[in-house]
């Protein structure tokens, strides 16, 4: 049982970025698509050259089995290792000249980092832009299929998408039996307390991992929490994209008023690899398993805990 769960993590992450796939059929046709922002885009499919404007989009392309169609990625890309062989460009601000030189069939963008202004610039250059949005885990898994259908690798993409979904469902099954779910506060940064409000997939990760996300119903999407909020919410666990040396003592040093917070008192403060939580891409599945290991180490073998950290 335990080893199966850990295996699922690796399945979800490593295998998906595996080998290439057969070349697409020779017939290429211009097709109208409606992207996640409701924009109408004409793309010649299957595409042979794609450019990704964000690291999570790159990971989604690889998960869709279309990594070999990427002709350009951003300088922020670092996963999977194959990205090191792909030409890189600056994404903030976008290096339009470099991307134009790559002559992509389609540019993949996300409204998390790209503005509609960028899209109109690409349109004037004659390059179609496909926007993807991610507010739930399903959006991420759907995006894998979408990219697969653009690249002509739809079957492979659908299979991978199903595997990812299944891995999350397996985790939910495993954590369903937990009776007392800890209240979890997820933070970006230990000093200024950026977090996630309603409409974020991060709450789903925490939920699947067997926790209750404290900030799931905060009205703003990207809130900055006050010290008082943390004291009042009394989270049992604080997980964040902190530097690895951040622990309860360090947080207490930065926020002395947190001394009554259960997570501080019990020392349940954990740093998590930001790339597997903050990037809405296929590795969120690994993020969910890592979160589960932090929240409920008793559900997994000791070896699993150590190997994951």
Partner 1 sequence: MPRNILLFALALIVFAPSLLFALTLGDSVSTADVARTIGSRFSDSIAPPGGATDDIVWLLRIPRSLMAVVCGGGLAIVGVAMQALVRNPLAEPYILGISSGASAGASLFFLGLLPPIVSRAATLPVAAFLGGLLSVTVVYLIAREGPRLSVARLLLAGVAISALMGSITSVVTFASPDPDKIRTVLFWLLGSLGGSRWDLLAVPAASTLVGGFVLVGFSRQMDALLTGEEPARSLGVPVEGLKTILILIGALVTGTLVSATGVIGFIGLVIPHVVRLLIGVSHSRVIPLSFLLGGAFLLWSDTIARSIFPSQDLPVGVVTAIFGVPFFLALLRRSEYRFG
Of 64-72, 177-185, 220-228, 284-292, which segment contacts partner 1 by CB under 8 A? 220-228
- Number of amino acids touching partner 1 (CB under 8 A): 26
- Mask 249-268, x = binds partner 1 (CB under 8 A)? ----xx-xx-xx--------
Using rule CB under 8 A, residue 245 touches partner 1: no
Residues 47 and 40: their CA atoms lie apart, in Å, by 17
Residues 248 and 190: their CA atoms lie apart, in Å, by 11
Least distance (Å) from partner 1 to the CB of residue 230? 9
Residues 57 and 67: their CA atoms lie apart, in Å, by 11
Residue closer to partner 1 (CB basis): 175 or 215: 215
Backbone angles phi and psi of 184, in degrees to 5: -115, 130
Least distance (Å) from partner 1 to the CB of residue 260? 4
Least distance (Å) from partner 1 to the CB of residue 19? 32
Task: Give the Å distances, CA to CA, from 151 to 67, 132, 196.
Answer: 10, 15, 32
Least distance (Å) from partner 1 to the CB of residue 255? 9
CB 148 within 8 A of CB 156: yes
Least distance (Å) from partner 1 to the CB of residue 60? 20
Residues 187 and 178: their CA atoms lie apart, in Å, by 24
Of 6-14, 122-130, 174-182, 216-224, which segment contacts partner 1 by CB under 8 A? 216-224
CB-based burial, 7-30: b 16+ in 10 Å, e otherwise: ebbebbbeebbeeebeebeeeeee
Residue closer to partner 1 (CB basis): 169 or 224: 224
Using rule CB under 8 A, residue 115 touches partner 1: no
Residues 281 and 275: their CA atoms lie apart, in Å, by 9
Q: Give the footprint of partner 1 on residues 143-202 (CB under 8 A).
A: 188-189, 191-194
Residue closer to partner 1 (CB basis): 84 or 253: 253
Q: Give the footprint of partner 1 on residues 225-244 (CB under 8 A).
A: 225-229, 231-232, 234, 241
The Cα angle at residue 218 between residues 269 and 268, in degrees rounded to 5: 10
Residue closer to partner 1 (CB basis): 24 or 223: 223
Residue closer to partner 1 (CB basis): 234 or 302: 234
CB 47 within 8 A of CB 61: no
Least distance (Å) from partner 1 to the CB of residue 218? 6
CB atoms within 10 A of CB 226: 10
Task: Give the Å distances, CA to CA, from 134 to 138, 202, 235, 284.
Answer: 8, 11, 26, 12
Query: Residue numbers of the site for partner 1 (CB under 8 A)?
Result: 188-189, 191-194, 215, 218, 220, 223-229, 231-232, 234, 241, 253-254, 256-257, 259-260
């Amino acid at each position: 049982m335990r080893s199966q769960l850990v295996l699922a993590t690796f399945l979800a992450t490593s295998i998906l970025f595996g080998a290439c796939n057969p070349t697409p059929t020779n017939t290429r046709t211009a097709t109208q698509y409606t992207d996640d922002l409701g924009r109408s885009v004409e793309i010649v499919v299957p595409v042979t050259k794609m450019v990704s404007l964000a690291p999570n989009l790159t990971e989604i392309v690889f998960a869709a089995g279309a990594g070999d169609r990427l002709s350009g990625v951003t300088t922020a890309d670092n996963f999977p290792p194959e990205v090191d062989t792909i030409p890189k460009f600056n994404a903030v601000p976008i290096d339009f000249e470099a991307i134009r030189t790559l002559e992509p069939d389609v540019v993949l963008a996300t409204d998390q980092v790209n503005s509609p202004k960028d899209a109109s610039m690409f349109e004037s250059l004659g390059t179609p832009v496909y926007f993807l949005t991610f507010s739930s885990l399903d959006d991420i898994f759907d995006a894998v299929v979408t990219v697969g259908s653009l690249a002509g690798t739809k079957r492979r993409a659908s299979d991978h998408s199903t595997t990812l979904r299944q891995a999350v469902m397996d985790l939910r099954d495993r954590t369903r039996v937990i009776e007392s779910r800890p209240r979890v506060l997820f933070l970006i940064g230990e000093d200024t307390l950026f977090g996630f409000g309603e409409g974020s997939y991060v709450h789903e990760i925490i939920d699947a991992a067997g926790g209750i996300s404290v900030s799931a119903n905060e009205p703003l999407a990207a809130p900055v929490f006050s010290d008082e909020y943390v004291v009042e919410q009394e989270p049992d666990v604080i997980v964040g994209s902190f530097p690895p040396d951040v622990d309860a003592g360090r947080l207490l040093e930065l926020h002395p008023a947190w001394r009554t917070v259960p997570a501080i008192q019990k020392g349940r403060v954990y740093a998590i690899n930001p790339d597997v939580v903050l990037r809405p891409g296929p590795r969120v599945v690994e993020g969910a398993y890592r979160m589960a290991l932090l929240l409920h180490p008793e559900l997994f073998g000791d070896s699993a805990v150590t190997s994951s950290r």
